[in-house]
Copies of this chain bind each other. A is one copy, B any other.
Amino acid sequence: MGSRTVVAELPAELVAELTELLGERFSVSESILDLHGRDESCFAPIRPWAVVFPESTADVQAIVEASARHDIPIVPFGAGSSLEGHVLPIHGGVSVDLTRMNRIRAIHPGDLDVVIEAGVTRLQLERALGEHGLFFPVDPGADATLGGMVATGASGTTTVRYGAMRENVLALEVVLADGSVIRTGTRARKSSAGYDLTRLFIASEGTLGVITEITLRVHGIPEAISSAVCSFADIESAVEAAVEVIQWGIPVARIELLDEVQIEAVNRHSGLDHPVQPTLFFEFHGSPRGVEEDAEATAKISAEHGGLAFRWATDEGERRKLWKARHEAYFADLGLRPGARVISTDVCVPISRLAECIVETKKEASRASFPAPLVGHVGDGNFHLLLVIDPTSETELEEAQALNRSIVERALEMGGTCTGEHGIGIGKQKWMALEHGSAIGVMWAIKQALDPKGLMNPGKVLPP
């Protein structure tokens, strides 16, 4: 026991075990530690003590089991695109990089499902499914791993029609804190057989186990797709039009809001010429006539709210051009200030309160000392104010945090949630008690039951 610490805080015995198991797939190289010590949040980077690259569930089991024996924390890592510090090893430990577990195990076009390893990325999956005329609808901005998307409880622009990860995961394989492996769920579309462990692991952020395999529902690429863009005199009218489309039950596939600040940014970034006004982007999926009818009904509602210039595209190239503004919003915002970072707020409220919530948020945003464009998955009641700050400025960071706090508190007061799709990580723990009250105790009881030593991504999701 003399030479315990060879690598940072890792006991020499564990280093020896992991090296024997993984060879060069156990790494303590500076650059690799750096890469696994950060995500897309604004939290200070913090290096793991080592990084491992499993290639199989058995590898993950061995890593978790060995680490547990030495009481060393485990932090799963995918694309590193989390926005609230999910993957930062704040209590040290081993970062488990799952990106080499990126095999697509089976595509079942007849069942509209697919079985993949957790390290498969969104765009990789899109390409593989496309060959079968299929697609997976959940589309966070980043090319995240599907494991990360499950762990975060991600959603995206099509959630209004197809649901979030919660509605599109059929089953999971998970390595538990003791190194044992379980399967949750089957490939059946529905089941009432016992507790819903699949949903329990969705949005658990690696705190209950390491997700290694995922069975997803997928969808046929629709026969007809059409897109439309419509601008409005003010943001309230835009939101009210969007909400009315939902209330009428029009099965819109996407309904995205960009405010005038965001439109100006994308116009500049991408050389577009959208009127600098609050703008809704729509997409309709279905049969040719159904899509036409949905779009017509939407155009009518938009016009009633003063919508101007309802522009259309059915051709794929045209559609892509139309959606360019939406897809490049984040990069356009980064381009607003050299060296800037974007902090994204992420509240979601009942849609009847959305207009009020967005109007009040924009009032605050207009007083900010940095640009703060707004984009929203308004069909779900979810929107992001993108705070484009100078990361070296302590005062801007504080101002951004105060703004975020105010937005979260307003959303909770309106019966909403502090995070629609980005998750809790370390960034939003401070609002868990306000949102969940004593239900936090139940979450802690589950955490302790499944991870009694507290080694699975410790310090995340649940407030101390």
Q: Which are the 6 A-B pairs with shortest beta-carbon distances? A: A290-B290, A199-B199, A110-B352, A153-B192, A191-B417, A449-B449
Residue with the highest number of chain B CB atoms closer than 10 Å, among A152, A180, A190, A202:
A190
CB <8 Å contact, A200 and B196: yes
Neighbouring B residues of A422 by C-beta, 8 Å: 192
From 164 to 196 in chain A, residues with beta carbon under 8 angstroms from any chain B beta carbon are 164, 166-167, 176, 180-184, 186-196
Enumerate chain A interface residues (CB-CB to B < 8 A).
Answer: 108-113, 152-155, 159, 163-164, 166-167, 176, 180-184, 186-197, 199-200, 202-204, 208, 219-220, 222-223, 243, 246-249, 251, 286-290, 292-294, 297, 348-352, 380-382, 411-412, 415-424, 428, 431-432, 435-443, 445-450, 461-462
Quote the shortest CB–CB distance from A78 to chain B (angstroms).
15
Question: Would A352 and B108 be within 8 Å (CB), given that A187-B415, A187-B416 are in contact?
Answer: yes
Cα distance A164–B189 in the bound complex, in angstroms: 10
CB <8 Å contact, B442 and A176: yes
Neighbouring B residues of A246 by C-beta, 8 Å: 112
Neighbouring B residues of A349 by C-beta, 8 Å: 188
Cα distance A297–B290 in the bound complex, in angstroms: 12
Question: Would A446 and B195 be within 8 Å (CB), given that A113-B350, A437-B183, A439-B183 are in contact?
Answer: yes
Cα distance A189–B382 in the bound complex, in angstroms: 8
Partner of A195, one of B182, B200, B437: B200
CB <8 Å contact, B203 and A192: yes
Apart from A155-B192, A193-B417, what 19 extra A-B contacts exist at CB < 8 Å?
A: A113-B350, A182-B442, A183-B436, A186-B417, A187-B350, A187-B416, A188-B348, A188-B349, A188-B417, A189-B350, A189-B381, A192-B424, A194-B435, A194-B462, A195-B443, A196-B199, A196-B203, A445-B449, A446-B449
User: Which chain B residue shows the least CB distance to A181?
Assistant: B438
Quote the shortest CB–CB distance from A133 to chain B (angstroms).
10
CB <8 Å contact, B290 and A194: no
User: Which chain B residue shows the least CB distance to A436?
Assistant: B194
CB <8 Å contact, B191 and A110: no
CB <8 Å contact, A439 and B197: yes
Neighbouring B residues of A203 by C-beta, 8 Å: 192-196
CB <8 Å contact, A419 and B192: yes
CB <8 Å contact, B188 and A251: no
CB <8 Å contact, A190 and B249: no
Quote the shortest CB–CB distance from A219 to chain B (angstroms).
7
Quote the shortest CB–CB distance from A216 to chain B (angstroms).
13
Quote the shortest CB–CB distance from A182 to chain B (angstroms).
4
Residue with the highest number of chain B CB atoms closer than 10 Å, among A154, A182, A188:
A188
Question: Would A190 and B424 be within 8 Å (CB), given that A196-B202, A202-B196, A439-B197 are in contact?
Answer: no
Neighbouring B residues of A204 by C-beta, 8 Å: 195
User: Which chain B residue shows the least CB distance to A452?
Assistant: B445
A-B contact pairs, 10 of them (CB 8 A): A159-B190, A163-B167, A184-B436, A184-B439, A188-B416, A189-B380, A191-B420, A194-B203, A194-B435, A196-B202
Residue with the highest number of chain B CB atoms closer than 10 Å, among A111, A152, A164, A243:
A111
CB <8 Å contact, A112 and B195: no
Question: Would A419 and B193 be within 8 Å (CB), given that A187-B350, A247-B112 are in contact?
Answer: yes
Neighbouring B residues of A294 by C-beta, 8 Å: 287, 290
Quote the shortest CB–CB distance from A361 to chain B (angstroms).
15
CB <8 Å contact, A352 and B111: yes
Neighbouring B residues of A437 by C-beta, 8 Å: 182-183
CB <8 Å contact, A297 and B287: yes
Cα distance A63–B160 in the bound complex, in angstroms: 41
Question: Would A419 and B286 be within 8 Å (CB), given that A183-B437, A197-B443, A449-B445 are in contact?
Answer: no
Neighbouring B residues of A416 by C-beta, 8 Å: 186-188
Question: Would A249 and B436 be within 8 Å (CB), given that A188-B349, A350-B113 are in contact?
Answer: no
Neighbouring B residues of A292 by C-beta, 8 Å: 289
CB <8 Å contact, B420 and A192: yes
